[in-house]
Amino acid sequence: MLQPGLMMNLPLLLSSVIEHAAAQYGEVEVVSRETHGPLFRYTYAQCAARARKLANALSGLGLVAGDAVGSIAWNNHRHLEAYYAVSGSGMVMHTCNPRLQAQQLIYIINHAEDRVILFDATFAPLVKGIAAHCPNVRAWVCLADAGNTPTIDGVANVLSYDELVEPCSEVFAWPQFDENTAAALCYTSGTTGNPKGAMYSHRAIVLNAMSGCMPGLLSLSPSDAILPVVPMFHINAWCIPYAAPIGGTKLVLPGPKLDGQSIYELMESEGVTISAGVPTIWQGLLAYMEQHGLRFSTMRRTGVGGSAMPQALIAKFMDVYGVDVRHGWGMTETTAIGTMGILPPQSKTWTSEKKQALLAKQGRSAFGVEIKVVNEAGDTLPRDGSSQGELMVRGHWIIASYYKGEKSPLIDGWFPTGDIATIAPDGTMQIRDRTKDVIKTGGEWISSIDLESAAVGHPGVAMAAVIGVKHPKWDERPLLFIVRKPGATLEKEEILKFLETKVAKWWVPDDVVFLESLPVGGTGKVQKGDLRKQYGGVFS
């Protein structure tokens, strides 16, 4: 007969995270860029106190456990306080992506049944356009002091966050409840039809945040300072706002200023040692640094995800700037980190190119996550590094169903990601493409990701994207889009000749389109759907 363990059974709750930080790392700083410009700084102890004040304020507005509170906001300290006040009170923190179309934003606010919306002043025009279509919202709270809270014509009950919170007591008894209770809600982006909601539990977020502190993932500790550039409205900024307090790590929040100069200056002034974001952010940062001949003084490693990081960009980070790249994978449905790639001990004797090739892959799964790849019949494929199929995932922080969904997306207990991947014998996973982006030509598959990575390796290329275009003979052929670096005179013949040395000849695109910029969505990913609408005709 199995015997029970004789241990305490305390629930994993987000309120315990911020109170842990206040008690053990109370003097560690949180530095935040205000929406109106200046830097604000305080400590984890002060953050916890303000979170308790906000919890009292929300109660004063008539909200109760189970209610949803939405946010349309940047990465800043007031947004951080809301992360803990809302979820810690037993409510649901619903982070809204402000870059969604207005109709999609209205849909998710109503679908989530948000009672209060917290917003940054930047988004006041957005609030003006959607407020009349969100009848369940009782109050619109601007994340600012009274002097920086705008008046919005036609929108009733617009409140100043600071005026709402300041009169409230710092004393608040965080309720205790089941750790599987809903804590946060995030909707998918870039899908067809209406966005779908992933409802995260306290248990899932805490476990994921704890794993993020591990040496094989982000390696957060009290000796570090982390700047999450990945938005707090995108998968909870990869759970970094929860992981940093657990690790006692200084947290630097960039607010709305995400250009290369602003990010670099904040990194330098605040002694940032770790950052995290999508490749497009790092391309802008390094372009600024190259243009001005700058170096990092404290930055040691960066987490990268959201889309595949080109090997040429990895090489620049590592060989030119001495920054360790940790390439990961996750999605809205996985709470945050699913896999992460780091160099093994034996890599000390490897060439730079071999190291970069490994780090261009998405790495091994974190403890608590299992992965496999399957063929079209659902059969599990071997872990040989070459057999590719759809990536399937399950684990402690993977969704079992969508919020208010009628049908579970799971297949035999596994979540189908829509990514095409391979898994090597050592467990290293590599995303080869999205099922909707992989290009089938003459019965063979071409990875748009690999083609894009090869193109970005050209010194004249700033950004690249590839889509499949219908072809009367070959089914599909690749079409390449290029954004030139400033001052570059790159032309079609040169880039195609360059690619002939990097990929199989039949992979080389049939044509090249040069653009001033690529369409980028709310999470920093290139919107290939927009490119298909405009350019996805038929090759002659």
Angle, CA of 28, 241 and 219, to the nearest 5°: 75
Q: Which two tokens stand for residue 302?
A: 């960066």
- 8 A C-beta contact, residue 463 and residue 283: yes
**Which residue out of 333, 390, 452, 476 is catalytically annotated?**
333
CA distance 80 to 64: 20
Q: What is the CA radius of gyration of the chain?
A: 23
**Which residue out of 188, 257, 350, 370 is catalytically annotated?**
188
Catalytic status, residue 270? no
**Which residue out of 354, 404, 436, 440 is catalytically annotated?**
440
Catalytic status, residue 533? no
CA distance 223 to 29: 12
**Which residue out of 298, 445, 470, 506 is catalytically annotated?**
445
CA distance 403 to 405: 5
- DSSP secondary structure of 415-480: EEEEEEEEE-TTS-EEEEEETTT-EEETTEEE-HHHHHHHHHTSTTEEEEEEEEEEETTTEEEEEE
Place of tokens 């015997």: 3
- The angle, 0 to 180 degrees and rounded to 10, between the axes of the packed helices 14-24 and 77-88 is 130
Catalytic status, residue 445? yes
Catalytic status, residue 265? no
> What does the DSSP 8-state code read for residue 65?
T
Burial 200-225 (b: 16+ CB within 10 A, else e): bbbbbbbbbbbbbbbeebbbbeeebb
Q: Is 281 in a helix, a strand, or coil?
A: helix
Catalytic residues: 188, 333, 440, 445
